[in-house]
Each structure stands twice: as C-alpha cells, then as structure tokens.
Chain A
Amino acid sequence: MKQKMSDEMIAEYLSSDISEEKKRELKNKLVSSGYSKIELEEMENLYSNIDGIKVPESSDKLGLNFYRSLGIYKDVHSQNNSLIKVFVKNIRNVFSNKYALRFVYSLTLLAVGWYFGNWSNQDGRKLQSMSKEIDQMKQVLMYSMLEQPSATERIKAISYADDLENADDKILNAFLDTLNNDPNPNVRLTAVEALSKYSDIQFVRSGLIKSISVQESPLVQVALIDLMLKLKEKGSITELNRLLQNRELNYSVRSKTKETIQRL
C-alpha cells in the first residue's frame, strides 16, 4: 500500500501540471520515504527526454489515402441512404392509402406481405447490384494496395478478401502470386490464411500444394503443412518429400513435415 502511494506520488511529481511549490513538497516527501535525490532526478530526466524523440514528417500518402477513403465512404453511404429512402417512401404510400386506413387491420398483413414481396424482388435486385458494385470497388482498391511497398498495406489488401462476398479467380490468382513471390513472410502468411478459405477450389488447392517447396520461411512452411493436414490432402506428399530434400530446412519444420507425411 505504502509502495503504491509512493509510485503514485512519483507520477504526480513528474507531471507538468503541478506548481514548483507542490513539486518541492512532493520531492521532500519522496526523499524522506527513502528515494534518493539522484534517483528522482534520473527519472525526471529520462521522462523529460521522451519529449525529445523526433518524429519524421508524414508522407503525402497519408492525406491522399484519407480523402480517398472518405470519398468511398460517402459514396457507399449515399447509396445506402437512397435505398432506405425508397423503403420509407413505399411504407408511407401503403399507409396513406384510404383503403389501407379503412381496412387497416385486415389489410396490414396483406400490405406488409405485398411490400416485402415487392421489395425483395425490386429493391432486393438493387441491393444485390449495389453490393456487387461495392465488391468491385473493394477489388480495385485491393489490387492497387497489393502493389504498395508497405507490407502492412499489402496485408490489409489481402484482408479485404474477407469482406468480399465472393473472391473471383483473378483475385485468387493474385493471392497465389503473392504467396509465391512476396518478399515479406507476414504477407505470405496472410495469403495462406486467405487462400485456405477457398481450398475447395481445385486450382487454389493445387497452387497451395505447389507452393510448399517454394517457401523459405519456416512460419509459412508450417502454415502450409498444417493446412495440408487439416485438408487431409494426400496429393501434397510429393511436395512435402521435396521439402525434406532441402538440407537447410529448419529442424522443427523437418520433424513436422515427417510427422505430417506419416499422418497423411
């Protein structure tokens, strides 16, 4: 308890919000409770030096990306809004109708049934087409992000695939290309994760198998080996054996590969 109070007191002593007088008072209290003046000064210096950590200028990309995202957000929001307006307008039409008012109890169910039937046919189609447009927009964004020099940006691009309703062959090929050629192992790992969701597609599955012996990072190798085991993919045994021929193969990966071959 006493220790906690001293800890608090030091943080208070370091705060720039207190007066000089209060600072002196706290310093005396801390010194009388066992802290040395040197220790306190060292802490104060260190804390104050944090202000000196230099920050480079951000690049123009920061503003460009922000305004681009804001634009996309506004477009998507206005499209969503116009759909909501159509919905509200139709509801109002139904309930301002004299018949609907006169026979409201008997017709409510019918009107609601009619509305949803109509809505699901017409606005449902609009919704589908809008959702398709958003997917297309995301795809364009994703391709451009996959070309970015920043690994984080490329990981983000692959993560966009989770939001897509359906990734088409072009995207899946782009991911396979990333898996085999991206210089950053974290990006390749994210590609394995994304592609594993589409492993029931034949060309994706064979692409994943072929990639095993191409990989050099133990993390990516292990992710692919685990995936093969999960998929019970016997077709991967040849590639796994090829991996074992690599003399520089990591010891743990080697044992894991042998174990996986046996289990398959």
Chain B
Amino acid sequence: MNTDNEIMMDVKGDDFDKLGILFERHKKNLFGFFFKITYDRDLSEDLVQDVFIRILKYRESFGGYGKFSTWMYSIAHNISVDHFRKQKNKQEDPDTLNSLESYDHNHNIIKNEELDILNRAMLKLVPDKREILILSKIKGMKYKELGGILNCSETAVKVRIFRALKDLRVIYSKMEVPANEAKNVG
C-alpha cells in the first residue's frame, strides 16, 4: 500500500484522482476534528471539503519531507482559524447555538451527564483553546508535530495545552455545581 506522502506526490504531479484515496483515508478523522470544535455536522462537512480544495490548490507547496497528516492538519488549522474569525464578525449563528441541543435530542449520542457537561464546557471554551485540546488528542499526534501545525515551539504547545485545560476545568466546575444542585432538588 502506498504511503500518504507517495500518493500526495502523485497528486502534486497532477494525478488528481489519487486525491480520492487520501480523502477516503482521512475524511473520518478530519470530520471528527471539525465536529469536536464546531459541534455542527453540516459545517464540519463543509470544512472537510475546504481542506481538500486547499490541498489541491496548494499541492505545489507539499515538499514530501514531513508527514502528510501534519501538512493536512496545518491546512485544517488555518481553515478553522479563518472560520472562527469570520464567525466573530457575525452574529452567533443560531445553527451553532442550537447545534448541541439538536445533536443531543436527534442523535441521542450524549449518554451520560459528565459527557453532557464536558460538551457544554467545550463549547464555552474559546475556539483556539478548544482546537489545541482536540488536536492534541488525535491518535499518534506528538507535541512536536503539533508545534509544526500551530507554528510554535514544543514548549509553547505544552504551555498552551495546560492553559486550555485549566480554563476548561474552571468552566466545567462551574457547570457541574448547578447540575448537582438540580439533581439534589429533583
């Protein structure tokens, strides 16, 4: 089986159909990444699509030395930054505000209270902090690689992960208290 890098080099040489192989290999993980930072299925699908369009557009910049997935997640990171920058200038999209509720009711995915609070706390976290936590949880993702994606040192990555987690813990604790109080009243 050809490696991602070999396939990407073919795409770089204008063998565009090979991009389909990379799409099939990575669509699930990329979709998961975007979903966990946006909690919006339609939007996540659009953003995955944008990643592959940019891969085609900037194929010449793929050197083939580093891992393809690092390069791909750098593109995904840029797309995520662009998306949240645009969102900031607009009224919060009702689709996003309602996403967690519809996700909760329609898909019946949130099975326990702890996870429910975690999802809500994640949505309250600022996007770049939410993103670094999700990126750091991608299987096989090393801090050094993450530094390459976020264009910062490994040390900075570690500090940023800690700070994001610290903020998440504060938000989580605040949400946990009313949830427990409600349970006691009930």
A interface residues with partner B (beta carbon < 8 Å): 4, 7-8, 10-12, 14-15, 17, 42-43, 46-47, 49-56, 58-59, 61-63, 65-67, 69-70, 73-74, 77, 149-153, 156, 184-186, 189, 217, 219
Does B122 have its Cβ within 8 Å of any Cβ on chain A? yes
Interchain CB contact (< 8 A) of A50 among B23, B49, B137: B137
| Additional A-B contact list (14), CB under 8 Å, known A55-B31, A58-B27, A59-B45 | A11-B157, A43-B166, A46-B169, A47-B133, A49-B118, A50-B122, A53-B115, A55-B36, A58-B31, A66-B20, A73-B16, A150-B43, A152-B95, A186-B91
Instruction: Specify which chain B residues have a CB less than 8 angstroms from the CB of A217 in the assembled complex.
Output: 91
CB distance from A150 to the nearest CB of B (A): 4
Please list 24 pairs of residues, one from A and one from B, whose beta carbons are closer than 8 Å in the complex, sorted by A's number: A7-B158, A11-B158, A11-B159, A11-B162, A15-B143, A43-B169, A46-B165, A46-B169, A46-B172, A49-B114, A49-B115, A56-B109, A58-B31, A58-B45, A58-B48, A61-B45, A62-B49, A73-B16, A149-B42, A150-B43, A151-B93, A152-B43, A186-B90, A217-B91
Interface residues of B in 18-47 (CB under 8 A from A): 19-20, 23, 27-28, 31-32, 35-36, 41-46
Please state if A70 and B19 are interface contacts (CB–CB under 8 Å).
yes
Closest to B109 in A: A54
Please state if B42 and A11 are interface contacts (CB–CB under 8 Å).
no
Bound together, the chains give a CA A56 to CA B31 distance in angstroms of 9
With A7-B158, A186-B90 known to touch, is A46 a contact of B27 (CB < 8 Å)? no
Bound together, the chains give a CA A156 to CA B50 distance in angstroms of 11
Interchain CB contact (< 8 A) of B91 among A4, A65, A152, A219: A219
B142-178 to A contact mask, C-beta < 8 Å, 1/0: 1100000000000101110111011011001000000
Does B75 have its Cβ within 8 Å of any Cβ on chain A? no
Bound together, the chains give a CA A156 to CA B46 distance in angstroms of 10
Interchain CB contact (< 8 A) of B162 among A7, A151, A185: A7
With A11-B158, A62-B49 known to touch, is A53 a contact of B122 (CB < 8 Å)? yes
A-B pairs with lowest CB-CB distance, top 4: A11-B158, A150-B42, A7-B162, A8-B158
Bound together, the chains give a CA A10 to CA B166 distance in angstroms of 10
Does B126 have its Cβ within 8 Å of any Cβ on chain A? no
CB distance from A27 to the nearest CB of B (A): 15
Please state if B56 and A73 are interface contacts (CB–CB under 8 Å).
yes
Instruction: Specify which chain B residues have a CB less than 8 angstroms from the CB of A219 in the assembled complex.
Output: 90-91
B94-122 to A contact mask, C-beta < 8 Å, 1/0: 11000000010001011100110011001
Interchain CB contact (< 8 A) of A186 among B19, B23, B93, B109: B93
Interchain CB contact (< 8 A) of A152 among B19, B23, B42, B159: B42
Does B53 have its Cβ within 8 Å of any Cβ on chain A? yes
CB distance from B83 to the nearest CB of A (A): 9
Please state if A53 and B118 are interface contacts (CB–CB under 8 Å).
yes
Please state if A55 and B32 are interface contacts (CB–CB under 8 Å).
yes
Instruction: Specify which chain B residues have a CB less than 8 angstroms from the CB of A156 in the assembled complex.
Output: 46
Bound together, the chains give a CA A69 to CA B19 distance in angstroms of 12
With A52-B115, A55-B31, A63-B27 known to touch, is A8 a contact of B162 (CB < 8 Å)? yes
Closest to A150 in B: B42
CB distance from B162 to the nearest CB of A (A): 4
CB distance from A213 to the nearest CB of B (A): 20
Bound together, the chains give a CA A59 to CA B91 distance in angstroms of 27
Please state if A7 and B163 are interface contacts (CB–CB under 8 Å).
yes
